Structure 1
Amino acid sequence: MSRGRVVVVGGGLAGVTAALRCAELGFEVELLETRPRLGGATYSFVRGDLVVDTGQHVFLRCYTAYTGLLQRLGVADSISVQSRFHVPVLSPGGQASVLCRWNLPAPAHLTPTLLGYRMLTAAERMRVARTALALRRLDPADPALDDISLGQWLRQRGESPRAVDALWGLLALAALNAEPADASMALAAKVFRFGVLDTTDSADIGIPQVPLGQLHGEAAHRTLLEAGVGIRLRCKARAIRRSGEGFQVPVRENTGESVLTADSVVVAVPHRAAATLVADLPIPGVATWAKLSAAPIVNVHVLYDRPVTSLEMAAVLDSPVQWVFDRTSISGAPRGQYLVVSLSAAQKHVQARTDYLHDLFIPALRQVFPHARSARVLDFFVTREPSATFRQAPGTGALRPQARTAVPGLVLAGAWTATGWPDTTEGAVLSGTRAAEVVDLDQRSQHGVEVTA
């Protein structure tokens, strides 16, 4: 017997997680998604012989909630996690180094690497080691840390501009989609402590070995149906309104307009869309969600007629290139080598013309990979995500809402909510799980069942 009807609005990782968990808890669940597929911002498309992911979406071993979802979807064997954190760092001048961990107890696991990192001077490396120890003593939940930027904190520690660019910024830019000067120190502390410093293997990098559309969208669709969740694709929720003790959700589909009813609603869409959906409900603080703003990610895709590097991935300094990934096998490319340059905090590139980006990045890749100088470019294209994440700047901690709202039965989910994590796949999945827990607690409370939060 159903414990009640739940409508989940949004088919990204947060919505998929919430829908699955609510179904497991005995609710009748309907999932609505405006797109023709599930997966949210993590999806794939076909271009010629390539299956292209719109973003890279690599993850860390410490993303236990995310990998738990992949296990629930039956695709955990479609990811590969490094046996040991290892990132080559390149530069156009030919100088190269490696960031990797040793099999030592934390934080000693990083000491040999920091002391041998050739992109910094010996004095800079010693100061970085001291800064890492100081960072390990910080509490990411301290509200005072959200008032300053990572860049400010590093300057207070005496870090040189080169150390900020060549180490701290290298990692923070990828994790927070923000330059150190624009990144919340609270979120940076979460990344560096939980993801790098506190546990020996937490920073080992995981890379999907199949396209994201297969890993997330197709697997989620299959698993949700098996769990009894109703799925409505190409279905746009227009609003959420109170109706007695429940809710009405007017929707528009290809077949026309209708109104769904629910005992609870989980809103699992980006913050701007969420604010529009709940505009008719008395929820304090909705106007502040817009202050979270958005930050873009741009991916530059290059297909060469021959291999130009043996590296699976690399970070790049002193170049327009930030991170580069070999996507040849994952994309199904029948020949040559398919590289993708991932650009975080890409405000200056998100609206740039493709021919401008071609003239910027093809020479830059030739400087980093000498074999690219003799290779022919078979295809060049750009994918842009103008709102890839919320803007993870100082002060955002106070803007991120909890899952439970002032309206009983109306619950929020999404990486932008108050997960304690940056805007990541881990945060999205955690938010979906928390949303389902709130639905469960609210329904138990409404029916007179004693609950403990």
Structure 2
Amino acid sequence: MRRVLVVGGGLAGTAAALDLADAGVSVELVEARPRLGGAACSYRRGELTVDNGQHVFLRCCEAYRWFLERVRAADLVEIQPRLSIPVLGPRGMRGRLYRDRLPAPLHLARALSVYPHVPAGQRLAAARAMLAMRRLDPSDPEVDRRSFGEWLEARGQSAAALEGLWELIGKATLNASAAQASLALAAKVFRTGLLSAAGASDLGYARVPLGDIHDRAAGEALRDAGVRVLPRTRVRAVALGGEGIEAFYAGGSRRADAVVLAVPHDVAARLVPAAAGADASRFVRLGASPIVNVHLRYDRRVTDLPFAAGVGTPVEWVFDRTAAAGCGGQYLAVSLPAATRVVDWPVEEFRRVFPGAVAELFPAARRAWLVEFFVTRERSATFLGAPGTAALRPGPRTGSPRVFLAGAWTATGWPATMEGAVRSGRAAAEALLNGPLV
């Protein structure tokens, strides 16, 4: 194997390129955007450095933590010494999801026993459902064909428990409501992230703009590994021949012995050559789920919390990104996962709702001046992890030993997360390196 072309400079493509280069393969990486990072990047907006979305990870995310080490960016993130999520509600209601020193699954028992966002009479039922989740097998096709919401209803979970606990965690990790989500993907999140080990759920987040990690640090690591990076190069088609592949873009083409298509599923459906023998038409059936971010910049600090979740409020998750954005006052980013209901709202509707909702959670905002307000929308932020999704997600191999697939939408067993993206890239590299052409 002389040369591999990686199409896509998100986490999946970068991880694949690094593994291939580390194995001695000559790698070129092409990316349509001017920057690396894919859906986890940053850009400038006036005085602010804005993240494309609010991305967190857990201590159990071993592949993403490998990525941080590999691009020499582990010191740019913060991982909680012990899980602690402030959960805010209207009229000053405050709770906290946290773990104590007990082993799993008892490490969450104390927090659930006093958690105010689930009524006292329903907390035991919620704990029982959490334990029942441990007995589910995420790889079972029957589990994948059921909806998370249906399973919760069968276990007597009330609307209050659904909003105050299950949706709080599920929507943020699955980018789907419980009614929309595959039970298998939900089981993966809750079993691995909350129930497998006491420290698995400790939350990690970037202290800097995501671009500092996924673009700058990743780009330096790629160049140091000998990978040639070609930004602003949008591949329009890939042809498969007896001697290799040829990727066509505006103004030229690239030839290689093999290609890793680390692109979104709808793009992969167009680029996979018919001769590769993959049923690429099924990829588009994965659908898409949107994420909306509402950005509020104040002239002064309105909260000391680095992040918080919300219940009974339009503010589902809120992150303090002041230091990362490089601004004065305080800059809060409100993240709305699975945002189908609001993705088409005009900005004026967001402005009508969210400053007041934030002020209800953080009363100091009532005395602050809102310096800047804007909304960003990712209409196709992730695939939709609906029931039956597993049958639509391909592995890294196609019918050709020259064409490989990567991306958080492929069959990683994880929902569309940074962890899944890195796992997919490494799986594609491994499949290629173990293939007949090497």
Query: Deviations 1:298-343 (Å, cap 9, x if unpaired)?
Result: 100001111111111111111111001111111111x211111000
1:419 maps to what in 2?
Answer: 412
- Larger CA deviation: 48-57 vs 412-421: 48-57
**Secondary structure at the counterpart of residue 180 of structure 1:** coil
> Do structure 1's residue 39 and structure 2's residue 32 form an aligned pair?
no
C-alpha separation between the residues in 2 aligned to 1:133 and 1:230?
Answer: 49
* CA positional deviation for 1:374: 1.4
**Secondary structure at the counterpart of residue 39 of structure 1:** coil
AA matched with 2:183: M
2:387 maps to what in 1?
Answer: 394
Among 8, 11, 26, the alignment partner of 2:9 is: 11
AA matched with 2:367: S
Among 38, 52, 55, the alignment partner of 2:53 is: 55
> Do structure 1's residue 277 and structure 2's residue 271 form an aligned pair?
yes
2:63 maps to what in 1?
Answer: 65
C-alpha separation between the residues in 2 aligned to 1:88 and 1:154?
Answer: 24
Among 437, 442, 445, the alignment partner of 2:430 is: 437
AA matched with 1:285: D
2:332 maps to what in 1?
Answer: 339
C-alpha separation between the residues in 1 aligned to 2:308 and 2:360?
Answer: 14
Pairing of 1:186-335 with structure 2 (within 5 A): 186-252=184-250, 257-333=251-327, 335=328
C-alpha separation between the residues in 1 aligned to 2:273 and 2:45?
Answer: 39
C-alpha separation between the residues in 1 aligned to 2:237 and 2:338?
Answer: 32
Aligned residues of 1:240 and 1:280 also touching (Cα < 8 A): no
**Secondary structure at the counterpart of residue 235 of structure 1:** coil
Among 147, 159, 162, the alignment partner of 1:161 is: 159
AA matched with 2:68: L
Query: Deviations 1:395-446 (Å, cap 9, x if unpaired)?
Result: 111100010111122100000000000100000000000000111111xx24
Aligned residues of 2:239 and 2:273 also touching (Cα < 8 A): no
Same amino acid, percent of matched pairs: 50
C-alpha separation between the residues in 2 aligned to 1:336 and 1:248?
Answer: 51
C-alpha separation between the residues in 2 aligned to 1:209 and 1:352?
Answer: 30
C-alpha separation between the residues in 2 aligned to 1:181 and 1:283?
Answer: 34
* CA positional deviation for 1:366: 1.5
* CA positional deviation for 1:258: 2.0
C-alpha separation between the residues in 1 aligned to 2:76 and 2:181?
Answer: 32
Among 356, 365, 370, the alignment partner of 1:372 is: 365
> Do structure 1's residue 29 and structure 2's residue 27 form an aligned pair?
yes
- For structure 2, the residue ranges without an aligned partner over 5 or more in a row are none
* CA positional deviation for 1:284: 3.5
1:450 maps to what in 2?
Answer: none
Query: Deviations 1:170-218 (Å, cap 9, x if unpaired)?
Result: 1001000011111110000000000101110111110101101111111
C-alpha separation between the residues in 1 aligned to 2:332 and 2:275?
Answer: 47
C-alpha separation between the residues in 2 aligned to 1:295 and 1:121?
Answer: 30
* CA positional deviation for 1:376: 0.9
C-alpha separation between the residues in 2 aligned to 1:337 and 1:237?
Answer: 40
**Secondary structure at the counterpart of residue 303 of structure 1:** strand
Among 330, 339, 344, the alignment partner of 1:351 is: 344
C-alpha separation between the residues in 1 aligned to 2:69 and 2:296?
Answer: 32
2:89 maps to what in 1?
Answer: 91
Query: Deviations 1:232-265 (Å, cap 9, x if unpaired)?
Result: 111111211112141111222xxxx222211111
**Secondary structure at the counterpart of residue 387 of structure 1:** strand
Aligned residues of 1:73 and 1:220 also touching (Cα < 8 A): yes
AA matched with 1:267: L
Aligned residues of 1:271 and 1:416 also touching (Cα < 8 A): yes
TM-score normalised to the size of structure 2? 0.98
Aligned residues of 1:128 and 1:163 also touching (Cα < 8 A): yes
C-alpha separation between the residues in 2 aligned to 1:134 and 1:8?
Answer: 42
Aligned residues of 1:295 and 1:386 also touching (Cα < 8 A): yes
AA matched with 2:415: P
Residues matched between the structures, number:
438
**Secondary structure at the counterpart of residue 357 of structure 2:** helix
Classify 1:284/1:46 alpha carbon distance in 2 versus 1 (closer, same or farther; 3 Å). Answer: closer
Among 348, 356, 365, the alignment partner of 1:363 is: 356
C-alpha separation between the residues in 2 aligned to 1:162 and 1:237?
Answer: 48
C-alpha separation between the residues in 2 aligned to 1:278 and 1:39?
Answer: 22
C-alpha separation between the residues in 1 aligned to 2:254 and 2:214?
Answer: 26
* CA positional deviation for 1:282: 4.2
AA matched with 2:339: A
* CA positional deviation for 1:377: 0.3
C-alpha separation between the residues in 2 aligned to 1:286 and 1:36?
Answer: 27
